[in-house]
Chains A and B, each alone.
Chain A
Amino acid sequence: MRLTPTEQDRLVLFTAATHARAALERGLQLSAPEATALICDEIHWAARAGCSHEQAVALGTSVLRPEQALPGVAGLLEEIRVEPVFDEGTRLVVVRWPLGRPDQAGATSPGAVLVDVSDVPVRAGHRRALAILNTSKRVVRVSSHHPLHLVNPRLRFDREAAHGFRLDLPAGDSLRWGPGQRRNVQVVSLDGFANREDEL
């Protein structure tokens, strides 16, 4: 057979999925790894039978109903990554919340976060408004923490005034400027971040 490690992994999925089907036949509910294996196995077979990538992704959320799994299992299956072989070759299929996403009120879900009532404190720093025009022919994005005076020179604004500031966005967010687009933005001083201010 000249089985590769990848093919052996495929057989592990098949074995676990067969185990899951046996559990269902006995009227038993599935655990998280059993449900995962069954979903992956069905996606592999569907790809082999010629389904599209889109169909494979959609199949991931329809293989099992939540009540076919043990209580809590839906909340354990956040994301499944599986790589079936389509006629065009191997492709990654990512299925999010295959048994449905536990809602915020789902306080009994495994690992649930029960949030406090207050808002999270606002980051320290001076704030001001700034108008920024994109003179580029391309889309330009600026992320939360980039020092504004160093961004793409095709963004036109008062760089002097922007010195020591960044966009007032949550960490990891960004703003998009289409070609020719002007935005009025809120900026925040970098001095809330102690070690960096002297260098910027």
Chain B
Amino acid sequence: MDRPEYAARYGPSTGDRVRLADSNLLVRVEADHVGYGDEPLFGFGKPLRSRLLQDDGASRDSELDLLVAGVLVLDPLLGVVKTNLGIKEGRVVGLGPVGGRAISGQDLVVGPNTYPVPAFGLIATPGGVDSHVHLPTPRLVPAALAAGVTTLITAGFEEPPYGMERMFEAFEYLPINLGLQACARTADPSSAEAVIEAGAVGLKIHEDYGAYAELIDAALVAAEAHDVAVCLHTDGFNETAEIDDTLAAIGGRTVHAYHVEGSAGGHLPDNLMLVTDPAVICSSTTPSVPFARFTAAEHVAMTMAVHGGNPDHANDVEAFRERVHVGTMTAEGPLQDFGAISIINSDSQGVGRMAETIRRTWQLADAMKRWRGAAGAGWGIDGGPDQPDLTGPDDNHRVLRYLAKYTIEPALVHGIADEVGSLLPGRLADLVLWRPAYFGVKPELVLKAGFEAWGPLGVGNGSVERVQPTAYAAHWGGTGRAGSRLGVTFTSRLALETTFSRGSGTSRRLVAVQGTRGLSRTDMALNRAVPAIEIDPVDATVTLADRRLAADPVESVPLNRAYLVT
């Protein structure tokens, strides 16, 4: 069969390239394990039936719950692979042909009780892991799910323990994974102990509560004792510490540096020097990527709104103006492209957009493909990409690296990579199906723990699904009590042994985070570059390998207006 006909029937196959939405990014299918000639189609006269591809003798133990058939998997650890994907009891159990040898995990047995999800021509990615979420309002959760985000790690500010208990209760029926972090606001260890015991999966150092060296040290001591993460928003006043003092306080212990570029907060003007320390795993937040014409203009009012600034007070206005520095803003995209900044997260409503983590990641990848094409090689970065991103007919390296930024990398940093961040067998079947034309902006279906949780649902009275108007809403997984069996609550080991062992009344699965300590950027999956940048302490321009590191502002982005009612 020739290629155009095969692609029209069964979706793209080995060697075919697929444009991601309306971006300039092309993925090339590395391999096809669907099974040529035995593609498991479902329907009228199709092969997924008794006597045919269905194994009538399948045992209850061996047959899959769900077969995602013929899907193009984009996964930071599996690559760009066309395959069938088998799900059982909420987890991915295998990938490969139906009835043949699996390429990963167990062989796929389609039995009489296996439910088929036809996904020929669709793309599957792991559900997004947003590792910087403020939750001032419940309206954030539908925004996240409708955008393909299935795990929320909050940005601190969840203390007191009483409030954390209520938040756990509020999330009981929501088909989304949750990890709460709390702020570390004193060097007295009993405070950190209290929130970790209440279930905090990490401690947040925030300048608004003080980001002094002794607070950083105390938080790290507590984190090392209990295996939880530390997230860092440094001292933008340079009131007690400058960048070198903060790096000394960190002392080579793992931290996740939030909005490392600095305009959303942190050392003025060179917070971005944190990327030179391999113990610091860095992230960007949604508003600053990709850098565009109005990025700086928006930041002054935006940061003032969430950090207690008074717009009528000239001194506040000056301080907030000064923390927005275009020199580092223009370097942020290139450092993301090198993999020196490992993660993209929302900073939802504090300052960032919940539904744009994934969309902006791809807008940035699109912009940085152009920038790097012009900027060329020779930046001399250990662990960073070089030639593969500049040559070749596809963007697989770049696409997987960017995909990792909101999937496996935050999962690794927050100690939840055994559960989420990849579709490797054994992980939760939190996966997002995308029509390639809508990739990264509007999902086709969000499966949470192998069950339909969210999607563009049509008119209830419709004779078929998807009668217009379709709108994102809770699927069955978000209805009734189902969410409590689909969403995982991440906690600390200490909380599992104390607070939750006393009975919390939850039906959600409780999983202790683990492996958050002793990580280095070089432990990341695909974003592990450690560049020796220099930053001018006056004008914040960034230099790498004796070259100015800066990308021009973008004027328009893909995955944008063509997809939206605006």
Contacts and interface: CB of A to CB of B under 8 A. Distances in A.
Q: Does B associate with A?
A: yes
Interface of A: 4-6, 9, 12-13, 16, 19, 31-34, 36-37, 40, 69-73, 75-76, 78, 80-83, 90, 92, 104, 107-125, 141, 143-147, 150, 170-172, 174, 188, 192-196, 199-200
A50 to B, nearest CB: 21
Nearest to B108: A195
B4 A104 contact: yes
Contact of B47 (A36, A70, A118, A144): A144
B18 A111 contact: yes
Q: Which 9 A-B pairs have CB atoms at the shortest separation, nearest pair first?
A: A123-B37, A111-B437, A116-B15, A111-B436, A145-B47, A115-B3, A110-B437, A195-B99, A143-B45
Given A5-B461, A146-B51, A31 B14 contact: no
A111 B19 contact: yes
A171 B36 CA distance: 9
A45 B461 CA distance: 19
Contact of B52 (A34, A92, A124, A146): A146
Given A32-B563, A113-B18, 7 more contacts: A12-B469, A110-B436, A111-B435, A111-B439, A114-B26, A143-B52, A145-B52
A32 B466 contact: no
Nearest to B100: A194
A33 B471 CA distance: 10
B469 A192 contact: no
Contact of A92 (B4, B9, B10, B464): B464
A114 B17 contact: yes
Contacts of A40: 468-469
Interface string B1-19: 1111011011111111111
A29 to B, nearest CB: 9
B47 A199 contact: no
A155 B471 CA distance: 48
Nearest to A20: B565
B523 interface: no
B53 interface: yes
A171 B47 contact: yes
Contacts of A147: 51-52
Nearest to A11: B469
B38 interface: yes
Contact of A114 (B18, B39, B45): B18
Contacts of B40: 171
B468 A80 contact: yes
B564 interface: yes
Contact of A171 (B37, B100, B459): B37
Given A116-B3, A171-B37, A171-B39, A76 B469 contact: no
B46 interface: yes
A6 B462 CA distance: 9
Contact of A115 (B4, B55, B468, B565): B4
B255 interface: no
Q: Which of B439, B468, B563 has the most CB of A within 10 A?
A: B468
Nearest to B436: A111
B463 A92 contact: yes
Q: How large is the interface on B (under 10, 10 to 19, 20 to 34, 35 or more residues)?
A: 35 or more
Interface in B245-279: none
A82 to B, nearest CB: 5
Interface string B525-566: 000000000000000000000000000000000000111111
B467 A121 contact: no
A40 B467 CA distance: 10
B499 to A, nearest CB: 42
Nearest to B32: A120
B153 interface: no
A118 B32 CA distance: 14
Nearest to A169: B37
A120 B469 contact: no
B565 A16 contact: yes
Nearest to B46: A172
B22 interface: yes
Nearest to B20: A111
Q: Which of A12, A13, A32, A120 has the most CB of B within 10 A?
A: A120
Contact of B562 (A71, A108, A192): A71
22 contacts: A4-B461, A12-B469, A19-B565, A31-B565, A40-B469, A76-B438, A76-B562, A78-B435, A90-B461, A92-B464, A110-B436, A110-B438, A111-B20, A111-B21, A113-B7, A113-B12, A116-B13, A120-B2, A171-B38, A171-B47, A193-B53, A193-B100
Contact of B55 (A16, A72, A196): A196
Nearest to A34: B565
Nearest to A200: B51
B469 A16 contact: yes
B560 to A, nearest CB: 9
B45 A174 contact: yes
A193 B107 CA distance: 13
Nearest to A14: B469
A71 B1 CA distance: 32
Interface string B431-456: 00001111100000000000000000
Contacts of A113: 7, 11-12, 16-19, 436
Nearest to B562: A70
Contacts of A90: 461, 463
B16 A83 contact: no
A172 B45 contact: yes
B308 interface: no
B311 interface: no
Contact of B9 (A6, A36, A145, A172): A172
B458 interface: yes
Nearest to A114: B17
Contacts of A104: 4
A170 B5 CA distance: 11
A56 to B, nearest CB: 13
A31 B559 CA distance: 11
B39 A6 contact: no
Contacts of B57: 199
A126 to B, nearest CB: 13
B19 A107 contact: yes
A82 B437 contact: no
Contacts of B14: 116
Contact of B438 (A69, A111, A117, A118): A111
B22 A31 contact: no
A195 B100 contact: yes
Contacts of A115: 3-4, 7, 12, 16
